[in-house]
Amino acid sequence: MRRDRRFDLRKTTWFFVLLAIAVCLLATVVRLAAGVVERRPLWAAVLAVLAVAGVLLWQPGRGRLSARRCARRAARALEAGAEAASDSLQLTAVGQAAVPDAGHAEDRLPAQVPSATVAASGGGEEPTILLDSHDPYTELDPDGFEQAIAELCVREGCGEVEVVGGAGDLGADVVAVTAEGLRVVIQCKQYGDTNKVGSQDMQRFGGTCFTIHEADVAALVTTSEFTTPALDYARQCGIVCVDRDGLEAWREGTGPSPWDPR
């Protein structure tokens, strides 16, 4: 063996480092290409056609001319398809923006929009769940209880009242805007007498009510009571706690609403 062909650790190390970098760059390019295909399939198809046309252009003679013709035809076809899709989307948007007959306005309301939202926006419906019942809490399901709290907000003169509770609500069940312009975010806890609202429930609500929902007034309303750690945390964060007695007084009109300073 030749003596000048000795093993060089430095060169070998740099070779594998550069190889690893090249593999990482290739993986990144493939990942970006997959993301582009997923988000923009039309652009991905255009780029693929252009890439194939570019490869074919390197071939001499007739293959080059035929590749150019194919590329031009493909580009024209893609352009026509894009224009047709754009026209279709514009027509769909115009059709959705059209206002239907007033007699079918209630049919257009989403299923999750309660009657409290309709009443707040001038729909003319009166609250019937919480205000007209003598024993409202035990007979309501969780959705009905949230709607009942929304109806109380409507009665107190709030506008833009919405029931937004459900999967992914991030702690907000009812949102409203008071007559003074304050944004109220309420979380509803329909618990039994033996199940009190603890500090964990309060901390989860406190982590989203101000930072994510941008509440001016954050309140947690329950049909039960609060533990002492939960009350201490709420006092530190400025969350209004409305327990069973406070909710009953609010319903009867003998007690304040969560945003009432008295």
Q: What is the pLDDT of residue 9?
A: 77
Per-residue pLDDT of 206-244, as tens digits, reads: 988 998 898 999 999 999 999 999 999 999 999 999 998
User: Which among 179, 231, 178 has a CA at the least distance from the CA of 206?
Assistant: 231
Task: Give 111's DSSP letter.
Answer: T
Answer whether residue 76 shows pLDDT above 90. no
Q: What is the pLDDT of residue 38?
A: 73
Q: What is the pLDDT of residue 222?
A: 92
CA-CA-CA-CA torsion sign (53, 57, 63, 67): positive
**Ordered structural domains, the chain, with CATH:** 9-92 (no CATH), 113-252 (3.40.1350.10)
- In order of 170, 185, 236, the CA distances from 182 in angstroms are 20, 10, 20
User: Which among 74, 76, 80 has a CA at the least distance from the CA of 48?
Assistant: 74
Tokens describing residue 133: 């019942």
Residue 4 phi, psi dihedral angles, 5° rounding = -80, 0
Per-residue pLDDT of 91-130, as tens digits, reads: 444 444 433 443 443 343 333 334 444 343 333 444 444 5
Q: Measured in Å, how far apart are the chain's first and last C-alpha atoms?
A: 97
167: left (phi over 0), alpha (psi -120 to 50) or beta: beta
Q: What is the pLDDT of residue 106?
A: 39
Mean local confidence (pLDDT), 163-180: 84
Name beta bridge partners: 189. Answer: 222
Please enumerate in sequence order all residues whose Cβ is within 8 A of that of 81, keeping only pairs 6 or more positions apart, or say none.
42
Answer whether residue 154 shows pLDDT above 90. yes
Residues in the chain: 262
User: Which among 131, 216, 128 has a CA at the least distance from the CA of 179?
Assistant: 216
* Side-chain-facing half-sphere of 168: CA atoms under 13 Å: 0
Tokens describing residue 151: 């109806």
Per-residue pLDDT of 21-38, as tens digits, reads: 999 998 888 888 777 777
| pTM of the predicted protein model | 0.51
Per-residue pLDDT of 133-142, as tens digits, reads: 555 665 788 8
User: Which among 87, 83, 65 has a CA at the least distance from the CA of 75?
Assistant: 83
User: Which among 248, 255, 260, 242 has a CA at the least distance from the CA of 173?
Assistant: 242
Q: What is the pLDDT of residue 3?
A: 54
Mean local confidence (pLDDT), 193-212: 90
Query: Is residue 179 within 8 Å of residue 157, measured between CB atoms?
Result: yes
User: Which among 80, 53, 79 has a CA at the least distance from the CA of 65?
Assistant: 53
Q: What share of residues in the chain are helix, strand, coil (percent, to 5)?
A: 50, 10, 35
Query: Is residue 175 within 8 Å of residue 183, measured between CB atoms?
Result: yes
